[in-house]
Amino acid sequence: MRQRRFKQVDVFTAQPYLGNPLAVVLDGSELSTEEMQSFARWTNLSETTFLLPPSPEAAAQGADYRVRIFTPGDELPFAGHPTLGSCHAWLQAGGVPQNEGLIVQECAKGLVPLRRDGTRLAFAAPSLQRSAPDAALIARVAAALGLQPAQIRAAQWLNNGPTWLGLLLDSMDTVLALQPDATALKGLAPGVGVAGMDAAPAAPDLIVRSNREARAFGARDAGTSTADDDTPSVEVRFFAPDIGVLEDPVTGSFNASLAQWLIADGIAPARYVAAQGTCIGRAGRVFITQDAQDQVWVGGDSVTCIDGQVTL
């Protein structure tokens, strides 16, 4: 065992302790998979990452570093907030990308490009596979979430490394009002993400959606949200009791696949901001942009909360 550089980063927020925390071991060399998994279980965060030099093959294709991503119970091929947070930590620790303005991360899913826009990072959403879920499964998930069938606008299996079940609900209010039954959800899907958006304001004046949301964000105009500020037009929640996460603060992989789905089907615009974590006291902001080549980019701020060493 030896001292290794370590950071704990809050992702999808510019204000500490309002996003999704990530543990980052900046030098994972000579650690076994079992040792990495054991430390991830000890941190008890939704994800812990270990940075390594890229493989020779990936380095030849432009990779700047390799990341391994662990939940307390398993290793993931890709995840969103660990991608942004690991890149933030790597750059802050002095990492220099091969190509200025573009960082390339190697993970089990493959190579993931990231770009910098000021202090904010964004990753290129990996390729998505999606399919229609079984109606009987949707009925069971709806019951576990306390939803009526009419409140579900659409549903998809979404796979961009991990596989999640995505539900589009009839409004942001419906998303915020959910009171999931974790026991009933267990075993139905690896994770269930829900999203709601309001196509237009309910009234000409500013509205306040709920006391809980009002305390966090105040009144806002649902019809004038843009990706140029932090005003969200999509509300997201994510539940994964099968991996020990009743509700995730901010889920980058789900927001990536959600954006690819909604934009491709003409449901969402090519630029929007999603809010996540409202119901658990967080204020996560996910900045979605589709470029001229139809690549979806998932952006967010990150801030380092703990900087030091860990004995591993």
Kindly report the CATH number assigned to the domain that includes residue 92: 3.10.310.10
pLDDT score of 3 more than 80: yes
pLDDT tens digit sequence for 26-65: 999 999 999 999 999 999 999 999 999 999 999 999 999 9
Give the number of domains in the chain. 2
Residues 242 and 285 in one domain: yes
Residues 75 and 147 in one domain: no
Residues 119 and 140 in one domain: no
The pTM of this model reads 0.89
Residues 135 and 239 in one domain: yes
Residues 66 and 85 in one domain: yes
Residues 196 and 150 in one domain: yes
Residues 109 and 159 in one domain: no
Residues 97 and 28 in one domain: yes
Residues 179 and 258 in one domain: yes
Residues 134 and 211 in one domain: yes
Q: Which residues, at least 6 apart from 136, have a Cβ–Cβ distance to it below 8 Å?
A: none
Q: Which pLDDT band, with edges at 50, 70 and 90, does 228 fall under?
A: low
Residues 176 and 197 in one domain: yes
pLDDT tens digit sequence for 55-85: 999 999 999 999 999 998 899 999 999 999 9
Residues 133 and 121 in one domain: no
User: What domain range is 76 assigned to?
Assistant: 3-125+300-311
